[in-house]
Amino acid sequence: KAGVTQTPRYLIKTRGQQVTLSCSPISGHRSVSWYQQTPGQGLQFLFEYFSETQRNKGNFPGRFSGRQFSNSRSEMNVSTLELGDSALYLCASSFLIAGGVVNEQFFGPGTRLTVL
Amino acid sequence: AQKVTQAQTEISVVEKEDVTLDCVYETRDTTYYLFWYKQPPSGELVFLIRRNSFDEQNEISGRYSWNFQKSTSSFNFTITASQVVDSAVYFCALSGGLETSGSRLTFGEGTQLTVNP
């Protein structure tokens, strides 16, 4: 089974621009979560999507948004980039049944975003 | 609110030594899940174990073992006979019940383990 894939792997943007990151979950996984990893703040939860619906959101400004498509692929968008948005953005997928238990999440390799 | 604390920022050992990584958690949920992940230099988080709050049995998988103690809110991870390939950052993480927090993971700060030959 192919793992979680993320594109692009590396991205360089300038302040004020916007960026879209893509994530393809493991086949059969319908839950996709996004995390931001920085040296100062560590790993922080951004949001989770399940069946095209955002079911959970972390404490990030509205500049951070996401969506999920019917094939479970997900995108996240960051508008009006700031220097502090430079980070490793990780996507994770899990096999989730509504009302079921919390299963382990499998992570992709991440997208390294640098904002200049 | 949920919180995970990994008090050991860095640990350095010599190959073949045993090493224990500490994890202490806080949650008000009665149902919750605990995880350990490994992050090698490549950056990808690798899943190691999941434990739910109703299962306090310790687990052993090869050189890895986990000690879950609800009484002390701890979920410690021991590597026996460490190897250079074990060098990585290890994260402990917590998730509430599905209905309260979905799959959301709260991570600890991570412990950088360096195994020297």
Rounded Cα–Cα distance for residues B10 and A28 (Å): 37
Q: Which residues of chain A make contact with B97, given a CB cutoff of 8 A?
A: 102
pLDDT one-digit tens code per residue, B30-39: 889 999 999 9
Chain A residue closest to B50 (CA)?
A104
pLDDT one-digit tens code per residue, B52-92: 898 888 888 899 999 999 999 999 999 999 999 999 999 99
Rounded Cα–Cα distance for residues A109 and B59 (Å): 28
pLDDT class of A98 with cuts at 50, 70, 90: low
pLDDT class of A46 with cuts at 50, 70, 90: very high
When CB atoms are compared, the residue of B99, B103, B110 closest to A48 is B103
pLDDT of residue A99: 62
Q: Which residues of chain B make contact with A101, given a CB cutoff of 8 A?
A: 33, 52, 98
pLDDT of residue A103: 79
Please report the DSSP string for A72-106 in residue order: S-EEEEE-S--GGG-EEEEEEEE---TTSPPPPPE
